[in-house]
Amino acid sequence: MKVKLVASAILGATLLVSGGTVLAAGKNTNSEKVAKLLVPAQEALKNKQYAAALAKIHEAAALPEKNPFDVFTIAEFGCTANIGAGNYAEAAKDCETKLENSFMPPGEVPQLTRALLALNFQIKNYDKAIDFGQRAIKGGFATEDNKNVVAQAYYLKGSYKEAQKTEEALVESEIKAGQTPKEDQLKLVLGSCVKLEDKECQTHTMERLVAYYPKPDYWQQLLFTLRRATSNNDTNTLQTYRLMFDVDVLKEAGDYNEMAQLALDAGSPGEAQRVLEKGFEKSVFTEQRVKDRNTRLLESVKKQSATDQASLPKLEADADKAPTGVKSAAAGLGYYGYGQYEKAADLLAKGISKGGLSNEANTRLLLGIAQYKAGKKDEAIKSFKQVKGDPALEQLASLWVLHARG
């Protein structure tokens, strides 16, 4: 969880044009000795000769007698010169002295406050960075990047709750404005949730990551957690595997084998065959005994598939006469396994309409998957949103929505 703050970025955001020496009458007047040293310092700054400028500034600072405006002007010149020279710790001191001085021009306060946030973050003075960041936020002149740096500072100093709260607020505002939150922002929220051991927060943030940045690694992290949570329910485990299979994050030989077995048990040998064939295609069965076992299983599944596929027209005909939707749903599952998704969707929808199903949420989720695979995205999303009654299946349905929109 890092913010990349390069020197040039800080310089560009922070470098202020010095007001120079003021020799006219009035309170904003440098003493003669200080002015004599700062005139060449100002010339050196214009030419970006920071070492030469600092030499004169240090001489002026060492003078025993200085008026209040001398102190302000020396800090102003030191702020600019030290930033230019890359002396960020010294720059932070001089810039803060300038900001807190009574001669500080009000119009320069926002820019210098933001600069002090960046400078203190750069030198790992996170408490100071947060202080100046909060000043900018409360003053209404903090940029989104400023707020992000504040969240980073909270995280790096171990204040994970504040980091999560600050970054989450920024993410929410971006989403409401129709913007896409940056990947690093979501990762910072996730990192904070992990440190806080907040499982709900982790899941919510992972869902946002797969929604905006649907990378296999994010899907794998999210679905691995869900896979463990559904391990005591074969129906929900199979549905979890279906999404893992579709987003291509099914990796282990044991997972391919288990998904195939669960599909067989559910009455979908065609699906079991596709899963095993994919496993062999991806060479997941590396150990010889595992390879042999799954080869035998695939041979058995192919025979079952041939018999099952031939029986589907009769099952479909019987389903039309049945008083409940159980046989229609079973036929829909069968056709789903053989990739006939439109026919599967029609039968699954008919099964739901007739009623009498033992697990309507599961059938409705499968209906959405079949519609999605048939290219009917809008209908699929509508079906996914109608999955109710089982928290695990509801979560899977919401993830399918993210996948469908991706």
Q: What's the number of CA atoms in the CB half-sphere (13 Å) around residue 375?
A: 1
Enumerate the H helices of 86-231 as residue ranges: 88-100, 109-122, 126-139, 144-156, 160-176, 183-196, 199-212, 216-229
Give residue 403's pLDDT. Answer: 95
Percent of the chain exceeding pLDDT 90 equals 90
3 residue type, one letter: V
Ordered structural domains, the chain, with CATH = 1-114 (no CATH), 124-213 (1.25.40.10), 216-405 (1.25.40)
Instruction: Please give the structure tokens belonging to residue 203.
Output: 């899941």
Given a cut of 50, whether residue 222 has pLDDT beyond it is: yes
**The residue type at 337:** G
| Surface-to-core class of residue 267, CB atoms within 10 Å of its CB (0-12 exposed, 13-18 middle, 19+ buried) | middle
Side-chain-facing half-sphere of 315: CA atoms under 13 Å: 21
What pLDDT score does 77 carry?
A: 95
Q: What pLDDT does 19 receive?
A: 39
Interatomic CA distance for residues 302 and 321, integer angstroms: 30
Which residues lie below 8 Å from residue 117, measured CB to CB, with a gap of 6+?
A: 129, 132, 133, 136, 146, 149, 150
Least confident of 3-17, 122-136, 352-366, 369-383: 3-17
- Which of 342-368 are b and which e, b meaning 16 or more Cβ less than 10 Å from the residue's Cβ? ebbbbbbbbbbebeebeebbbbbbbbb
The pTM (predicted TM-score) of the whole model is 0.82
Here the contacts of 51-57 (C-beta below 8 Å, separation 24 or greater) are 51/85, 53/77, 53/81, 53/84, 54/78, 54/81, 54/82, 54/85, 54/87, 57/81
Asked if 119 and 92 touch (Cβ cutoff 8 Å), the reply is yes
pLDDT of residue 27: 67
